[in-house]
Amino acid sequence: CFNKGNIKGVSFVGGIIGYGVSAPKIRDCYNTGIISLQTTTTVNKNVGGIAGYLNTGFIQNSYNAGSISTTLTSTTGAGAISGKTSSLISNCYFLSGTIANTNNNEVELTETIMKNTSTVNLLNNGRTPLLWKTDDLNLNNGYPILNN
């Protein structure tokens, strides 16, 4: 799954899922869109590149290259992959500079490294068939894409 569109919201905002309950399993997803939380209240407000809030379940083998922004002065509910989670986040990456802070098990990569074959290998995580490939045709601005 992927998102390339810009998303604005006032509560739980994410590139793939805003509010995840009932153990969602998010695998092999990416976001390149701008994700924005626009609110002045702080209760139940979270924003992330893949998920705004994830109560249970997991996010694996995914990345965020889109910028994350919030109008809140406190960014405790903002994350590159998930704004808030009590779930497992593993083998997930985000583009350096997309967010000021990170609050989960997320790995920051430069643009050069994010677009490199080494990141595709990390996302594939030793699995076959290969689910990720390099963006040789520049369909995704050079960032890894999913195999069809």
User: What are the average pLDDT values for consecutive 10-residue runs of the chain, which has 148 residues?
Assistant: 96 93 92 93 86 91 95 77 87 92 81 98 96 97 95
Nearest to 58 by CA among 95, 86, 93, 97: 86
So what's the pLDDT on residue 23? 85
Strands 78-79 and 35-37: unpaired
So what's the pLDDT on residue 42? 73
So what's the pLDDT on residue 72? 76
So what's the pLDDT on residue 101? 67
So what's the pLDDT on residue 51? 94
Q: Phi and psi of 55, rounded to 5°?
A: -75, -50
